[in-house]
Structure 1
Amino acid sequence: MKQLCLVFSLMLITTLCSNLFAQNITGVWRGKINGSNTEIKLIKSGDNLVGVAYYYHNRNAFKRYSIKGHFDPATNSVIWWDEMLLEEKGKKGLLQISADPAAQLMVADFNCPGGEEMYLDGESSNRDNKSIRNGSVQLEKRKKPLFPDEWDFIIDNYLVGTNDPELIDSISNMGIGSKIPEEPSLDAVAIKPGTQKNDGTAPVVTAPASSTPAVTTPAVTTTIVSPPPTEKPDTVETQVVAAPAKPIPSVNETKFTTRKNVLQTVIPITAQTIELRFYDNAQVDGDSIALFLNGKLLFQHIRLTDQPYTIRLNADELGEDNELVMVAENLGSIPPNTSLMVAIVGDKRYEARLFANEQSSAMVRIMRPKPGEQ
């Protein structure tokens, strides 16, 4: 009986702790990321997170980033990343507002040992290059910030009105005034790219396990004629050598390898199928894109319109950390190439606005939860 009560108590504590996290992920967290002193402010808006991160030596020497992320209360897991370098303050004062190659991506777990103690423990990697692993994430929730800013009012009043998504979006400058296309039907079936369904909507395609188009190069025949000897030859020897065929990269593959990939968003793998819908994010102006998955060409010559171009990915064919890259084939009549991507993962919906031009491509990381987090 005592053991049963103990098990019930542990289950109750776990449930209460999970609910507590769902309510209190919003707040100030301070500690170290990759060995650097760090303070972050996370604000929960639905399944999404926004906020700001400070990497600092002291209050007069720091880097300040806007951050975005996702929170899953079912697994108590959180993913967030440095979106934009807003401020770099030090001996030279305010420097720039720009992207930064030092930007990081963090994957962490919530720990609730009891009382008011709350921790984020995990790992960080380079935001735009998953192969570069940085260091550990060790943060603890705090009551007061070291760096006052515009998010403090939201955090202090979150439970009494400032949790309104429109108010949060107005501060994070996310999507104000952007019109999202109407929700398309989910009963679409997979058909070949470039064809139309009977109802006239845009095509839905299912990503194949391996879809890199085969590129063949005809063998080159080289004829080598021996120089005439000093004496009159009886015959002329001819040797035919077939040069090895080398794949010739397509125009889009060349663009993929020569342009910088910049992270736009992260999609957690929490369902068997991931459905991705691509729209023209602004005025339909002839934008055309190609999609690469983990370095391989998936689909190309996708013209963006106000109707979705839909692909479905099977989670069984994905790795732990995957990179989907949108390459701009052209910039349309109104540069840059902009796409609204809507991801449907189980009962969750994620949205991201992807930007690509002649210097950079838009990258989406599709990440699987670690074992034991599901």
Structure 2
Amino acid sequence: MDLNFDLMRNSYLSCLFKLCIISLLSSLLFSISGCSQKAIKINKVVSVDLLPPDNDKSLPNLPLSESNIFSLSKSQEDHFLTYLARYKANEIGSNEAIKKYLEEELPRFDYDLFTYSAEKTYALRKGNCMSLGILTTALAKLANVDFSFRLMLSNPVYDDAGGIITSARHVKTLLFESAKDTEEGESVSPPPLIGFRDAIVVDYFATREAFNGLYIGYNDFLSLYYQNAASEALQLGEVEVAYNYAYKGYQVEPKSLSGLNILAVISNKMGFKKQAENIYRAVITFDNTNYIALKNYSILLKQQHRWREYKVLQQRYISANDPNPFLLIAEAKEAEANERYELSKRLYLKAIKKAPYLLEPYVLLSKLNDKLQRESQQNYHLYDALKWIDNPEDRLTIKEMLYTNLK
């Protein structure tokens, strides 16, 4: 995939957005980045007594320090600074030089699920949008260029593999003109709203459907790095390493809803049940419709056989408006298994509305109607699915079901 760059004037958006790359692991959810229309952070630090992580030197992949995340090797630095000096001699701005450097050095930047440091991203020529943002930030620091980050909003594309649910969105990096690049006497001090400054945008796999979301600060971005690293370690079964990263993310930005949630999830995995509960309760206190915290807290209550409290929270998270269709499908399956058929049907329909390109809810809803002997409803949504689903194999499955049902 080619790297996409764009020079644009950015306008400020007054609404706030909540980070929400969502993953499901053993029915536990944690959010890392992405967006829905909620606050990205709460307005005060959540004070929770946390057990410190085990910084045993024998543990692999202990959290990188901030300086190591954004540092390059000596040879990489020298190569970039030589390039930068040549372009500045030709009166090309430092932010423009960074753009051109990345275009020439990373003409093909390959997608990778993992989040890498700047040095590793440069060496491998691959990574996710966080990796590219980290490398761009490292270059901006060397060139003394102001930078910021912006979340991109689009219809999320969800995937479900190996019991892990992910909702992918991305972050882009903005590079601003530096004072040294302007004519003498011209001020480029940032106005109160950074969105009114001209910026060169380093965007990862930009799409027409995506549009600008919230600007996020340096600490938010750094915290997201640690949250991503915690998520990746947890998916690899490295729970202690994951806790180290999540703890570090909390230290960097203790107001982050996504950071608090992943810390609670991993605390539960580590056996720190009371700590996990305290974090969930704190998040819900500030955001009483936070689906992920409500769901995860209810799972903890279920594990402890606290059925009365569990049922109350279950009703709250089912009513919450979460955008992840796989979570709705999971809830629908559970409701169907418990013979709560009308609830199951509502949840399948809700999943279809959220993600009409997914085959599974159409198939399961058709089978549910068959089980309930509702022949008139059995094929209705299968016909509707053909309007949305492009995958040839999925379309063949739908047509075979329709043929079987109509015989």
Instruction: Give TM-score, length-normalised by structure 1.
Output: 0.25
Q: Higher helix fraction: Structure 1 or Structure 2? A: 2
Identify which of structures 1 and 2 has the higher relative contact order when contacts are C-alpha pairs closer than 8 Å and 6+ apart.
2
Structure having the larger proportion of residues in strand: 1
Q: Which has the larger radius of gyration?
A: 1
Normalising by structure 2, we get a TM-score of 0.24
